[in-house]
Amino acid sequence: MRLPLPLGKKAGRAKVPMEGVERLVNGYLESVPEGKEPTPVYGTPGLVAWSTGLPGPPRGMLEMTDRLFVVAGTNLYEIAANGVASVKGAIPGADRVAMAGDGVHVVIVSAGLIYVFDGASTQVVTDPDAPEASGVAWVDGYFVFTERDTDVFFACELDDPLNFDALDFASAEWKPDILITPIILRRTLFLAGKQTIEAQQNTGGVDFPFQRYQDVMVDVGFAGREAGVVTNDTMYFLASDRTVRRLDGITAVRISNHDIERQIKTWPNPEQTIATAHVWEGHLFVTFRNPAGTIVFDQSTELWPERKSFGSETWRATFYARCFGHDLFADSRTGTIFRLDANTHTEAGEPLIFEMTTPYAYAQGLDFSVDEVEVIAQTAVGSLTLDPKITLETTKDGEVFAHRIERRMGKFGERTKRISFGPQGSADAMAFRLTIADPVRRAILGVYVDIDVERD
């Protein structure tokens, strides 16, 4: 009996290993017409160093009118299209910063202080009417801030982020909460707190332009300041209850599953999560990067692959900007800005490990023997010297993987390769882990298992 195994359709950690072991690391499932099985799985693009002139890992990054601004070390930098960084002013400290821009000014919040780059120089706001801030956003000519460790938000004067009025403030009114950051979605101001989210609208009032929407209130907050991202006309965020939510109208719809939530709950510091969103080959990927792990929501398939860097449990990429025609990510380890590259299968020279664990093969509760596991791969190696390999391991209980077997993926110029791994023993359930570490294209078009059922 020949069984096709569904690929890449589940990720995360089941409560019991025998319940499921599917996992996809550094890959994604391609959308295909209904009824086609199995569906192809592709490897994620690699990272190429694009700018290397920063003194340390970026603390924040902002694209503004196709200009790129980065805070790293104790300075604000503008990075030109050729990747060269130039200092634009001092931003003391080592904490992550919040950034927003209006096309002319770049405003940075760091350790409660507000800094403004006006195109010529950077200065700290000294207006006594400006409280300590925790986050910043821009809408309708106003930079809007959340006040540090309070339920208050405030705004600068119209088109003037250096000047403030002591009366230009208000409080989140729905429920008592500590505000974390303002978020702008379709000109609506959302105030993200630790336990709630409420919306404000610019009504043009003389005393203060923002008033609360009476019916836009969400009974869950943000896990951290950078835990939410606006994309595709909606908002995705890691919520305070450690679920992942998408704002559909005025409802925060849960999009994470139990397996993903179990993984999130292992993160000791969810408030350190950075949410980003980018489009790659028609897929909208919403990435939640935490120091303890990285999960990705693929809007095209509504599946949850993972990302990991070599020697780490998480992805080394943090902040994101689309600028100069590139998808740019900041490095968590060095002062490097990476760009995603479809023809690169490493991360700045380090191995980019593709790993996929299939679901269990079953035979209606009967014992069976595996005569062959066949993997159909498309590699297009394109190198006369590289001899890429793929490895297979088996598991019967979801905990112990054994029988590590290595096979060649194809010679130079070979596009499609059927890779046979031969007999794998007997069991009443068996799953398989496939790993590719060599720097070649990763495209798994199908995995098939030939079994013989052992009947009494």
pLDDT per residue as tens digits for the range 214-245? 677 899 999 999 999 999 999 999 999 999 99
Q: What is the pLDDT of residue 384?
A: 56
Band (pLDDT 50/70/90 cuts) for residue 365 is confident
CA angle 340, 227, 112 (to 5 degrees): 110
Q: What is the pLDDT of residue 32?
A: 61
Q: What is the pLDDT of residue 13?
A: 65
pLDDT above 80 for 206: no
Band (pLDDT 50/70/90 cuts) for residue 440 is confident
Q: Identify the burial level of 214 via C-beta atoms within 10 angstroms of its C-beta, where 0-12 means exposed, 13-18 middle and 19 or more buried.
A: exposed
Q: What is the mean pLDDT of residues 161-166?
A: 95
Q: What is the pLDDT of residue 238?
A: 98
Q: What is the pLDDT of residue 30?
A: 86
Q: What is the pLDDT of residue 404?
A: 94
Q: What is the pLDDT of residue 192?
A: 97
Q: What is the mean pLDDT of residues 154-170?
A: 94
Band (pLDDT 50/70/90 cuts) for residue 33 is low
The verdict on whether omega for the bond into residue 38 sits within 30 degrees of 0, i.e. cis, is yes
Of all residues in the chain, the percent with pLDDT exceeding 70 is: 94
* pTM summary value: 0.95
pLDDT per residue as tens digits for the range 74-129? 999 999 999 999 999 999 999 999 999 999 999 999 999 999 999 999 999 999 99
Q: Taking the CB of residue 115, how many other CB atoms lie within 10 A of it?
A: 22
Q: What is the mean pLDDT of residues 390-400?
A: 92
Q: In the chain, what are the domains?
A: 2-44+354-453 (2.60.120.260), 46-349 (2.130.10.10)
